[in-house]
Structure 1
Amino acid sequence: MKFEIAYIPVGLPTFHLESAQIEFDKSIELIKSLTDACVFPDEILLSIDKLDSFLKTIAPKLVIVQNTTFAHAAYITEVLKKFDCPVLLWTLREPVIDGGRLRLNSLTGAYSAGNALLNFRDGNFEYIFGSPQEEEVKNKINATIRVAKVKYELTKTKIAAIGHTPQGFGFGRALDVEIAKQFGANLESIESRELIDRAKAYTLEECEEHLDSFSAACCNHEGIDKKNMEDFTRLLKAYKDYVKENNIHVIASRCWPDFFVSYGTPVCSVLSMLNDLGVAASCESDTFGAISMYVASKFTGVASFFGDPVSLDEGENTITYWHCGMAPCSLSNGDKATIGIHPNRKIGPVMDFGCKPSDKATVFRIGKDQYGEFRFFICSGKILDKPKQFQGTSIVFQPDGKSKEIISKSVKDGWEPHFAVAYGDIAQELEILADMLNMEVVKY
């Protein structure tokens, strides 16, 4: 089924229909400027019968219910009975206040609808007040549409857990039924040795194109052992072939010790390349970290960083996120991504650079609280123009709040040690998505 949004304007014929028509026309114009996935009725739905007739023609993944004039709770109830999808309730501003007739009375209708939504959906809906020409209204509707599309795309997403989480990293482990229930996505699991065995079976000639693409994206190849470079290209082909054959969108891959010990070459750069190819890929088998990266990249349109918070500078008000050799080449602050050797295992190739700056950034993670309930970590700020902080890949994030307070509170709150850093301000979208998924939002 395709992604479809439905604009559902409701009202009663006893109000000022000339004013209502103006708002109806402006509302359609606004929504059409934001998406081509919306369906509209030919007129304001001024009776339950007309509403029902329209509802029979649609199959939405998001409904925008507007009290174009006052409409009692029976209208929204009909919508909720038929569709189990996200709802954006839109209240119109009263167009004229002149001591004369109340033209729309949209706000009273919103209270009736909100009360029904509380009882029908436990209050799980989005809300906006204002006229179609207001910027806040445009931004909220646009954000809600974008989120509903990502939520829908999650239901078509296939996630692969490659290998088990290492000892002490169980926070990233997921169950297939859990992923299906919470996100609507599919999770499959395979052993890392399956891809290692596949990589070992390739000839170097079969992998030549992958070496060429890596060489074009990165520099410092001369510092890497030739056999490691060849084995890397075999591993890159193995992962790319697996992704293509199985229609994988998200990967949570085991890295140490298997790829160092059993294969002799790290997987870090393979995962880095996959992120630039549009496959969200995390290391240390962190499935929820990988989903966080996927969601972030869907909202920003670019690959996101994945790393640990490793350093705090109170004077500069920054937090440094780092990982030992994994980051998309596109995030490098140089003309090309620099590669090097792993800081602990002393073999390569791994990524070895500082990340480029951004005036807007969001640190994000889908995690769990002590009761196993899902929650969203959201922190807004910017990425500074800084060189590599430690061997590996690093990104220096300056939050809007105080860095030391954020670190202290998030450690006390028990957050997992992996975070996605998104290149863009996506806090509003993340909050809406958390609401749609019935998950807690924790803002820092």
Structure 2
Amino acid sequence: MNSINIPEVKCGIISVSRDCFVISLSENRRSAIKEAYTKKYGEIYEVQKTVENENDMLAAVKEANEANCNALVVFLGNFGPETPETLIAQNFDGPVMYVAAAEETGKNLINGRGDAYCGMLNCSYNLGLRKIKAFIPEYPVGTADDLATMIAEFQPIARTLIGLSGLKIITFGPRPQDFFACNAPIKPLYDLGIEIEENSELDLLISYREHKDDPRIADIIKDMAAELGKEGNPYPDLLERMAQYELTLLDWAENHKGARQYVAFANKCWPAFPSQFGFEPCYVNSRLVSRGIPVACEVDIYGALSEYIGTCVSGDAVTLLDINNSVPKDLFAESIEKTTDYKLEDTFMGFHCGNTPLCKLRKGGIKYQLIQNRLLENGETPDITRGTLEGDIADGEITFFRLQSTAGGQLRSYIAQGEIFPVATNSFGGIGIFAIPEMGRFYRHVLIQKQYPHHGAVAFGHYGKTLYAIFQYLGIEDIAFNQPKGMLYPTENPFA
């Protein structure tokens, strides 16, 4: 995905050294990490100033800033100076990870012993004293190769945190009536450092009409036609309306992001939208998310936020789906049961009208919204209800997740890894058959019990480890997951 809507991480590494240890031990170990990282993963900036005291700390942070680093690794090459090393994170404006050196050989445990295993404990204590947020891996001690891998795993975490610190969520319209699932208390967004701009559907309609006959429309029509192909483009007359809308959103993002660098949208898409704009916005939404600009439907603000997090984590297109319907027993028996260990209750269909990008569909094309056609056009020949992008979602690994605020303003989240089956759904919309281990229990004791809405973000791959680390860093205390068999949920009946 080629996107300017997610950050590019330039990570630096600073080594620290306690002044009663040989400073070269920390410096040499830092250089070995850079060599290992560069060889396997790419560029990392090596800050030359090693930190032994507070003045060194200021100089090292200054060097990192002048090199345009926006993320840092603080490396305890030996025990480390507790105060200066933690003040690095306090003085640096960006995410910081702390890691420590493992001892290299049993043949050099006198002058070559660094005691960073011990120093990491005092480092964490001092971070706590100063209420400084930092990322510490599951086991933060390792050799140069080990730490290079940890630093690589830190990059999508850093990218997401930087993205959230510069994100504005733009909304159009209140949620549809009776759509309490999209309830979105705003205060927790500010707690996360996210800005929000709320507008009415009328603002959007006015801007859309002002884009009529925009000379850029022709190029977007050509791009849409090329993307869809002849078979996926049964309504070529519709492309002009949708191209006009795409320009409207892109221009609004550029003109309204203000002091922020990144944007996501949460827009109302029914029931008034089709009659006033003359189409359904789904295909345009799918095009923007494929470029790293989520456009959550039904004014789902926390859905847009979750999608943006997934975009930063994966560096790829994501989608937002309803946890929609059960898989019929006959379909499961005919197409799934014989080739998998999943139970029927582990499966469900994820669906939305047509916002999943074409690159994530097995085969897709422009269609019309069947449900809205019944309501708005009496089930007759579709016109204003055209514009969905429909097809079965491509099979492969997925992570279903959501960051959500309760009505009382408490942030909570869930993460569940699974897969999509290469099985025809024989249904409409952007839809796929999903399987998540122990989904039936997760559905009851997390999604229902904790009153989550039906919308979930989908990242195409297994990203649970990274998402969990991000939610922990953000201070989310309730991070639910699909617990394995034998691990009971607090509300689960042990006799059931």
Which residue number in structure 1 is paired with residue 490 of structure 2?
Answer: none
Which residue number in structure 2 is paired with residue 353 of structure 1?
Answer: 391
- Do residues 162 (structure 1) and 176 (structure 2) align? no
The 2-side partners of 1:384 and 1:253 are apart by 30
Which residue number in structure 1 is paired with residue 491 of structure 2?
Answer: none
- Do residues 79 (structure 1) and 93 (structure 2) align? no
Name the TM-score, length of structure 1 as normaliser.
Answer: 0.86
Which residue number in structure 2 is paired with residue 341 of structure 1?
Answer: 368
- Do residues 195 (structure 1) and 204 (structure 2) align? yes
Which residue number in structure 1 is paired with residue 418 of structure 2?
Answer: 381
Which residue number in structure 1 is paired with residue 77 of structure 2?
Answer: 68
Task: Give 1:374 deviation, angstroms.
Answer: 1.6
- Specify the code of the residue in structure 1 equivalent to 2:468: E
Which residue number in structure 2 is paired with residue 10 of structure 1?
Answer: 16
- Percent sequence identity over aligned pairs: 18
Task: Give 1:367 deviation, angstroms.
Answer: 0.9
- Do residues 105 (structure 1) and 115 (structure 2) align? yes
Which residue number in structure 1 is paired with residue 352 of structure 2?
Answer: 323
- Do residues 23 (structure 1) and 29 (structure 2) align? yes
- Specify the code of the residue in structure 1 equivalent to 2:355: M
Task: Give 1:272 deviation, angstroms.
Answer: 1.8
The 1-side partners of 2:57 and 2:189 are apart by 35
The 2-side partners of 1:317 and 1:355 are apart by 18
Whether contact under 8 Å (2:89, 2:132) holds in the other structure is no
SS of aligned partner of 2:98: strand
Name structure 2 gaps, 5 residues minimum.
Answer: 1-6, 328-342, 374-384, 483-496
Which residue number in structure 1 is paired with residue 462 of structure 2?
Answer: 425
The 1-side partners of 2:448 and 2:273 are apart by 30
1:147-189 per-position Cα deviation (integer Å, ceiling 9, x unaligned): 212211333333210111112334535566643431x333222
Deviates more, 1:289-298 or 1:429-438: 429-438
1:38-72 per-position Cα deviation (integer Å, ceiling 9, x unaligned): 34124x43445434433444446433222211234
Which residue number in structure 1 is paired with residue 405 of structure 2?
Answer: 368
Figure out how many residues of one structure are paired with residues of the other and give that number. Answer: 435
Whether contact under 8 Å (2:17, 2:80) holds in the other structure is yes
The 2-side partners of 1:67 and 1:204 are apart by 57
Which residue number in structure 2 is paired with residue 151 of structure 1?
Answer: 161
Deviates more, 1:273-282 or 1:412-421: 273-282
SS of aligned partner of 1:50: helix
The 2-side partners of 1:391 and 1:230 are apart by 24
CA 97–323 in structure 1, closer or farther in 2 if over 3 Å, else same? same
Which residue number in structure 2 is paired with residue 437 of structure 1?
Answer: 474
SS of aligned partner of 1:79: helix
Q: 1:301-320 maps to which residues of 2 (within 5 A)?
A: 301-313=315-327, 314-315=343-344, 317-320=346-349
Name structure 1 gaps, 5 residues minimum.
Answer: none
Which residue number in structure 2 is paired with residue 91 of structure 1?
Answer: 100
- Specify the code of the residue in structure 2 equivalent to 1:110: M
Task: Give 1:140 deviation, angstroms.
Answer: 2.4
SS of aligned partner of 1:344: helix
1:62-85 per-position Cα deviation (integer Å, ceiling 9, x unaligned): 332222112342333433553464
1:304-363 per-position Cα deviation (integer Å, ceiling 9, x unaligned): 1211011344338323210123221221202xx2221212122312122111122x3211
CA 157–171 in structure 1, closer or farther in 2 if over 3 Å, else same? same
SS of aligned partner of 2:145: coil
Which residue number in structure 2 is paired with residue 114 of structure 1?
Answer: 124
Deviates more, 1:371-380 or 1:115-124: 115-124
The 1-side partners of 2:291 and 2:109 are apart by 61
Task: Give 1:227 deviation, angstroms.
Answer: 6.4
Whether contact under 8 Å (1:176, 1:186) holds in the other structure is no
- Specify the code of the residue in structure 1 equivalent to 2:292: G
The 2-side partners of 1:146 and 1:100 are apart by 36
- Specify the code of the residue in structure 2 equivalent to 1:65: V
Whether contact under 8 Å (1:16, 1:103) holds in the other structure is no
1:221-266 per-position Cα deviation (integer Å, ceiling 9, x unaligned): 6755x76555444434433443444457311110111113333422
Whether contact under 8 Å (2:25, 2:77) holds in the other structure is no
CA 309–58 in structure 1, closer or farther in 2 if over 3 Å, else same? same
- Do residues 398 (structure 1) and 471 (structure 2) align? no
The 2-side partners of 1:228 and 1:49 are apart by 64
Match of 1:38 among 25, 45, 57: 45
Whether contact under 8 Å (2:267, 2:300) holds in the other structure is yes
SS of aligned partner of 1:352: strand
CA-atom RMSD in angstroms: 3.1
Whether contact under 8 Å (1:307, 1:323) holds in the other structure is yes
The 2-side partners of 1:109 and 1:54 are apart by 20
Deviates more, 1:282-291 or 1:19-28: 19-28
- Specify the code of the residue in structure 1 equivalent to 2:34: I
SS of aligned partner of 2:197: strand
Q: 1:212-291 maps to which residues of 2 (within 5 A)?
A: 212-218=222-228, 220=231, 224=235, 231-246=241-256, 249-291=263-305
CA 389–300 in structure 1, closer or farther in 2 if over 3 Å, else same? farther
The 2-side partners of 1:20 and 1:302 are apart by 37
The 2-side partners of 1:442 and 1:222 are apart by 41
Match of 1:140 among 127, 150, 163: 150
Whether contact under 8 Å (1:8, 1:65) holds in the other structure is yes
The 1-side partners of 2:64 and 2:216 are apart by 49
CA 14–198 in structure 1, closer or farther in 2 if over 3 Å, else same? closer
CA 386–339 in structure 1, closer or farther in 2 if over 3 Å, else same? farther
Whether contact under 8 Å (2:323, 2:348) holds in the other structure is yes
CA 10–204 in structure 1, closer or farther in 2 if over 3 Å, else same? closer
